[in-house]
Amino acid sequence: MAGVEAGEKRILGFNGADNVDKNGWRTGKGASGFDGDILKRAAGAKFGLGGHQAMENRSYIAQHDSDGDALQGARTLQLRFEADNLPPCRGFWSLTAYGTDLYLVENEIDRWSISDRTPGLFYDDDGSLTITVSATRPVDIANWLPVPNGPYLMGLRVYEGDEAVVSCNWFPPFLTAA
């Protein structure tokens, strides 16, 4: 039993040791492969999808908005990708909202994520994309990601990301107040 407890303590200590934070988002730099490191593999299995490496899928977790405030559904936020700063990938990207229990949250339009494959997504004339994140339904729901009224979690996944994604040189922009 002491060995199990010691192993768990080492895994817990490893979690977050390689995090990279930028623009209010966090990702783990070590998602680039295990290279035979059993501790790294165990931490990946416990705290992440474990099987995905950065070249397959890099996941970013929103930590706060541009004002440093925690994510709260009562506050409408926007995620604006400039035309030259959309998630660079050969696959696709997906922005997903979760309750604090890590489960998807019921909402009136049955939308739990927005991606570059979302039908009817509206891009501005200059090619930029603005996603509205809120608990309150906006007039135009094409780019709306519903979230609960209280605290929530949000992740952005980039599948088959370009080198800038794999190497942690690309990050999503700040979430800003609408």
Cβ within 8 Å of residue 86, ≥6 positions away:
93, 116, 129
For 7-63, how does the pLDDT look when each residue is reduced to its tens digit (9 = 90+)? 777 776 665 567 899 999 999 886 556 667 777 666 666 665 455 678 899 999 999
| pLDDT tens-digit map of 102-112 | 999 999 999 99
Tens digits of per-residue pLDDT, 137-148?
A: 999 999 999 999
- For domain 2-177, give the fold: Jelly Rolls (2.60.120)
**Treating both helix axes as pointing N-terminal to C-terminal, what angle do 2-14 and 38-47 enclose, rounded to 10 degrees?**
80
| pTM for this prediction | 0.85
Chain-centre distance of CA 59, in angstroms? 5
Q: Is pLDDT larger for residue 170 or for residue 19? A: 170
Closest by CA to 129, choosing from 178, 79, 170, is: 79
* Extents of the domains making up the chain: 2-177
Nearest to 120 by CA among 86, 96, 93, 143: 143
